[in-house]
Amino acid sequence: MIRLTSHVLVVLLLTVLTQLGGLIWIVSRWFRRPVLVFVLAYAGVWGAVQVVAPMTGRVALPCFGALLRSQSVVYCGLMRNFVTPQLAAVAIDAAKRVEAEFPGTVTLALDGGFPFLDGVPLLPHLSHDDGEKLYLGFYYQGLKGDYGQGQTRSPLGCFAFEALEGPDTCPPVWLTLRWRMGWLQGRFAAMEVESQRTRVLVRALLADARVGKVFVEPPLARAWGLMDPKLRFQGCRAARHDDHIHLQLGT
């Protein structure tokens, strides 16, 4: 019973993280060397997905590159870097806008979506279920003001929160994804948001007719002088957006 339960948990975890990993794990159990088979099969499926997903309406954002790329190979390896072709074009165009003003700038993508099927959420992001939502990382600079190309404060580009919260900002509510993670903040790199590049990126997204909403935490939006009907606050039950930029297509 314990063995069965452990396999069920592994399947659930791999499905939540990668969409297809749970199924691959199940198949691998039929072989004498299941772990080796899982690794080889996962690699094969990963390669096949890069070819098949575009046929069903999703494309992978680049894992490597000098303009726009995934912040970590983790996002690529877990197949969480898929978006619709239109959203990919939006991200690339915005990255070009920033690079044109600040040559040498690399724009980093965080979570996008899974390669297949609408309606399957990319946990813990309940809204990332159709390839039309994407997280972009902030740009950062060292304490001396030097731009850190391709660098972020945290290993995965998120959870390093920037906005200061007053006593009247988002009081504690039940059932919330607005994690504070105070115990973790001091462990991140000593860097600051490079506001000039980040401001240009957000403005490029807001000016794009294909973009429906952009979520940035209100204190940061005010500090950066950003005002636009598309610029929204996600609410006090959703994840914080003072560690990344959330953009989505549509209205």
The string of pLDDT tens digits covering residues 193-237 is 999 999 999 999 999 999 999 999 888 888 899 989 999 888 777
Q: In the chain, pLDDT over 90 holds for what percent of residues?
A: 59
The pLDDT confidence band at residue 181, using thresholds 50, 70 and 90, is confident
Can you give the pTM of this predicted structure? 0.90
CA distances from 202 to 92, 112, 158 (A): 13, 17, 17
Q: What is the CATH number of domain 58-249?
A: 3.30.1380.10
Residue pLDDT, tens place only, 80-139 = 999 999 999 999 999 999 999 999 999 999 999 999 988 887 777 778 788 899 999 999
Cα–Cα distance between 110 and 246 in angstroms, integer? 10
CA distances from 146 to 5, 40, 142, 151, 201 (A): 50, 42, 5, 11, 18
Q: What are phi and psi of 77, to 5 degrees?
A: -65, -35
Q: Where are the domains of the chain?
A: 1-56, 58-249
